[in-house]
Amino acid sequence: MNDAKPHEADLYIGLMSGTSLDGVDAVLAGFSPGQAPELAGTHYLPYPPELRQRLLTLHAPQPNELHLACVQAQELAGLYAQAVRELLEHAGVAPAPIAALGAHGQTIRHRPEAGYTVQLVNGARLAELTGITSIVDFRSRDIAAGGQGAPLVPAFHAAMLSSPGEHRVIVNIGGIANLTDLAPHSPVTGFDCGPGNLLLDAWAGLHLGKPIDENGAWAAGGKILPALLDRLLKHDYFAAPAPKSAGREQFNLDWLHAHLHGNEAPQDIQATLLELTARGIVDAAQTHCSGFEALYVCGGGAHNTALMKRLGELAGKPVQSTAVLGIEPDWMEALAFAWLAKQCLEGNPGNLPAVTGASGPRILGAIYPA
């Protein structure tokens, strides 16, 4: 993809804020028939620390949470609108030519087994603030059709990254890790395979006072604790059949603490958490993507040098960033939601039933016209 202003292309914006709760990834993309999308601009807007803490608190039941969630949805709409303004300013593009924006929203509950999922953002306010048709709530229709509502990005992976000559597995390592199996001439499959950066970041924040363990350097200096790893891998989620999706409901610090004896060195726990992420991904690929030839990684985990190295050691196959396929790892999910907005506006399905478990293809998203 070219980092240049698209010509004679439909322009869409994608906005993504994931399980890591670090901020908003924003992309401006041009889509032309039969061509890869052109990336015309990118922008990252971090969450203010106070907002991040309020959103984290909303993951657990609390008094007056309905009011608090609505207030945070409005605040998020304002933040997303700011990201859009700054994105367009940097790209030198006015709002008028933008066909639509797709905003994932911030997940605070994901309960497909109960028939719902909640991604906070006030779509009406977002359309009002940006003057751009805003499409939100992409997951609910899939869940209404009996699906997991996640992962949704495999449909984009299949459209953009499939190869007739290579069996690829695309691994997105955000807060949660998910994979997409792109076997030539075969149905596309995919699912959430377990924790990605979520536990690694939370443990680093607790013991290093930093949002991440940069390059996995702290984990690389520790030693894996086999007994702890075994206890963590016994989580029912790892053995559950696909389709399946995960979030903070399954993997969180309370769950981790429940498996600690209390005498483990924090650095060794970090090393073990890195191994948990790597094992979850590679075990899933080896079990469900038989014969795969390479792993291509996107999301923040692509920058974790120690994790990428360990993935290669466990897989015994090439492990590379999706940048070698033409899409920078940091912008994959935001670009996917620009594409999902296009699919919605044009009346095309955005889900893959074989991935989510929905009863059929569905048009995803709720549209708030400009």
Q: Which amino acid is at 45?
A: L
Each residue's pLDDT, cut to its tens digit, for the chain (370 residues) gives: 444 444 457 999 999 998 888 899 999 999 998 788 999 999 999 999 999 999 999 998 999 999 999 999 999 999 999 999 999 999 999 999 999 999 999 999 999 999 999 999 999 999 999 999 999 999 999 999 999 999 999 999 999 999 999 999 999 999 999 999 999 999 999 999 999 999 999 999 999 999 999 999 999 999 999 999 999 999 999 999 999 999 999 999 999 999 999 999 999 999 999 999 999 999 999 999 999 999 999 999 999 999 999 999 999 999 999 999 999 999 999 999 999 999 999 999 999 999 999 999 999 999 999 9
Q: Taking the alpha carbons of 356, 358, 363, 365 in that order, is the dihedral positive or negative?
A: negative
Q: CATH 3.30.420.40: does it fit domain 153-317?
A: yes
Rounded to 5 degrees, φ, ψ at 12 are: -135, 155
At 33 the pLDDT is 86
What is the number of other CB atoms lying within 10 angstroms of the CB of residue 350?
25
Residue 61 exposed, middle or buried by CB count within 10 Å (0-12, 13-18, 19+): exposed
Sole residue written with tokens 């609505």: 70
Q: Give the chain's length.
A: 370
Same fold, 10-149+331-368 and 153-317: yes
Rounded to 5 degrees, φ, ψ at 89 are: -60, -45
Q: CATH 2.60.40.10: does it fit domain 10-149+331-368?
A: no
Q: Which amino acid is at 253?
A: L
Rounded to 5 degrees, φ, ψ at 19 are: -65, -25
User: Which residues contact residue 164 at a Cβ distance below 8 angstroms, ignoring those fewer than 6 apart?
Assistant: 184, 185
At 8 the pLDDT is 52
Can you give the residue ranges of every domain in the chain? Answer: 10-149+331-368, 153-317
At 252 the pLDDT is 95
